[in-house]
Amino acid sequence: MGSLRSIPYVLWVVYEWKSYIKRVVFVLSYTQASFIQAQVSYSSDLIMVYLRLRQAALCSALTAPAVFGLAINGTTPTGLHNTTTLPYRDTSLCIEARVDDLLSRMTIEEKAGQLFHFIIFSGPNGTLAPANPELNSTDFVVGTQLISHFNFASQIEDPVEAAEWHNRIQTRALETRLGIPITISTDPRHAFTQDVRTGFSAGGLSQWPETLGLAAIRDADLVQRFAEIAREEYLAVGIRAALHPQVDLATEPRWPRNRNGFGEDANLTAEMLTAYIRGFQGEEFGRTSVSTVTKHFPGAGPAQHGKDAHFAVGMNTTYPTKNPDYHLIPFKAAIKAGARQMMPYYSRPVGLEEYESVGFSYNKPIVTGLLRNTLGFEGVVLTDWGLVTDTTVAGKPWDAKAWGVGQLSEVERVARILDAGCDQLGGEARPELVVELVKTGVVSEARLDISVRKLIREKFILGLFDNPFVKPEEAAKTVGNAYFRRIGLDAQKHSYTLLKNDEDVLPLRSVPLSTKFYVEGFNTSFIEARGYTAVNTPEEADYALLRLNAPIAPSDPIEVGTDLQSGSLEYTKEEKARQAKIYSAAPTIVDINFNRPAAVPEIAEGAAALFATYGSSTEAFLDVVFGKDGAEPQGQLPFDLPRSDEAVAASLEDQPFDTKDPLFKFGHGLRYRTCCDGA
């Protein structure tokens, strides 16, 4: 291990405000650039020490208005100015006393606003977004509807701009009567998925394999390191809630959202998600934590025929073998790990007589009976997006996911969701419906208080009432820094799962620079930058390198053009024939991005080498192929790979590992042969 060029040091600083607040603040000072540039080995212990010191540095505990660092035209934001002497602003009081005081001051309208978790975008150059045909302006949803929880749905390319946007929306929130700060959440945004419904590619953040790739590495410490790095990047731009982890089990291979989970095995998923939650929330939930939303309760993996519940054709979660308990194992682990929030899925249970066949968020025996009473979950239950209102998203119809209760009116749907035991409605901005329910006596204000108390308590624990702002200059140093990117790239390489390696064709460490390559799935400039020649046909090549996406096909017209297609897991006959010509022309190394457990026996037969990957860059691929700097595959399959569509159709949705004669089994993963392995 090389020596660090600067040594982190600590200072104890006493901060005093208005003579009645005295606190000791732990402030860490260090030189990040020196740490990044230092020639160090990326050992588990060193990474853990670095991250925990960095996260301690973020805990500033400064509360005075002057310290917030933002003002409007040089003056204190109105809401904060009017509330600075109220008990809920007094940091010397315990959190419960502050919650009690704030709750007692809130109107029905202000309480109703807390019960909604809406989508939000930034405007040009980090400004607050104006209204558009699909969404009201940020000013309206914050200032008039009094909503204070938002899912940030803009790509983060420029961390400084994202941080500045965050500070602007917090400033707007402080102008409201009580100055309740904003909680910003996000879907996953550290990998390669790009779908506004499920996640974002990394953009300006460090980039890692999808969650399946983390599971393939089988290293809980690495999962925690990922989550700690992601937490630091989130904190730098003001994101305080993660709409993940997704812990659904891949027992139905056709389900398109298998890409976002940890695979097919419940116990592996439980181990990985425990580390994931610990990394995001920290050893103790507090000012430097990111709250996690574990989803989708009680397990969306047994999707009937693999169809997704974003669409009416996929509204059913089915249990043909009465096996819901297997799918509950990850959620029990999440609760034990301290999960703060849970999200039920859109779908409705079929095949379980004890539960009504209505959407899980509408289902009181599921939310209150099973989740709260049986499993003992006491945190926030946030519904999935868009259960109440028919609307449009990106110009396409987005029908309310009111599966099994479609006959109910909008206000009746909200009443049923609250009665089921949910605390907050995701993807909706309809506080007027809650106000109507209270004023007509259908829902009591006391019922609102139960949920609002949880939601504002979370804000107090996160420190948002004391300092909701971030420092854009720190975001520039932290988000996507070279150190974080290096660790993410290493994880991409380690996640590579080698399924076949005929005659130890890989790694190509010793091929001469005169070697000719035919490539598909990436630009020839990548191979040429390494000094090799790219040719136009397989027949001219010494080797072919193919990077393929797993087969994708719609099973229903409504899936066409979406990232939620649940059709065939096999390539078409035409594509199989096209590939076969390549395999016969040159030794072919194939890399398939397995967002679902695809059926590819013809590739396992025809290719010289076959990788399963789960989101990786071309740089990572080529490093593993050539064994650059010791790069080699370390992954193991996180699910069985079926042999055919026929085998999948004959399997049962709620049972793991039940496809007949799988092509490769869970846990399969070869290693490169070394000189020590012998002949």
Spatial distance between the Cα atoms of 219 and 63, rounded to a whole number of angstroms: 39
Asked if residue 629 lies in contact with residue 210, where contact means CB atoms within 8 angstroms, the answer is no
**Triad 147, 261, 287: Cα angle to 5°:** 45
SS3 421: coil
Question: What is the rounded CA–CA span in Å between residue 650 and residue 351?
Answer: 17
The residues facing 146 across adjacent strands are none
CA 48, 287, 475 angle in degrees (round to 5)? 70
Is residue 653 within 8 A of residue 252, CB to CB? The reply is yes
Sequence-separated (6 or more) residues with CB below 8 Å from residue 112: 146, 431, 432, 434, 435, 438, 448
Closest to 176 (Cα-Cα) out of 92, 80, 265, 245: 80
- Examine the residue annotation and report whether 591 is marked as an active-site residue of this protein: no
Give residue for tokens 């059926």.
599
Helix (H, G, I), strand (E, B) or coil at 675: helix
Q: Which two tokens stand for residue 526?
A: 């990548």
- Give the DSSP per-residue string, 275-326: HHHHHHH-SS-STT--EEEEEEET---SBGGG--TTSGGG-EEE-TT--HHH
DSSP H helices in 38-85: 44-57, 65-68, 78-83
The end-to-end CA distance of the chain, in Å, is: 33
Cα(195)–Cα(187) distance, integer angstroms: 10
Assigned token pair, 187: 């879907």
Q: What's the token pair of residue 337? A: 């790990």
**Within 13 A of 340's CA, how many CA atoms are on the CB side?**
26
From the CA atom positions of the chain, what is the Rg in Å?
A: 26
Question: CA–CA separation, 181 vs 438, rounded Å?
Answer: 24
Closest CA to 554 of 544, 542, 564: 564
Cα atoms in the 13 Å half-sphere on the side-chain side of 23: 16
Enumerate the β-bridge partners of residue 119.
151
The helix/strand/coil state of 133 is coil
Beta bridge mates, 199: 195
- Exposed / middle / buried, residue 533 (Cβ in 10 Å: 0-12, 13-18, 19+): middle
Strands 588-593 and 543-549: parallel
Q: Which residues of 547-578 are buried (b: 16+ CB within 10 A; e: fewer)?
A: bbebbbeebeebbeebbbbbbbbbbeeeeeee
Q: 507 preceded by cis ω (within 30°)?
A: yes
Q: How far apart are CA 304 and CA 548, in angstroms?
A: 27
Number of C-beta neighbours around residue 175 at 10 A = 17
Backbone angles phi, psi at 116, to 5 degrees: -125, 140
Q: How does DSSP classify residue 557?
A: G
3-state secondary structure of 201: strand
Residue type, 676: C
Q: How far apart are CA 546 and CA 648, in angstroms?
A: 26
CB 95 within 8 A of CB 114: no
Catalytic residue, chosen from 384, 423, 623, 640, is 384
| Residues involved in catalysis | 384
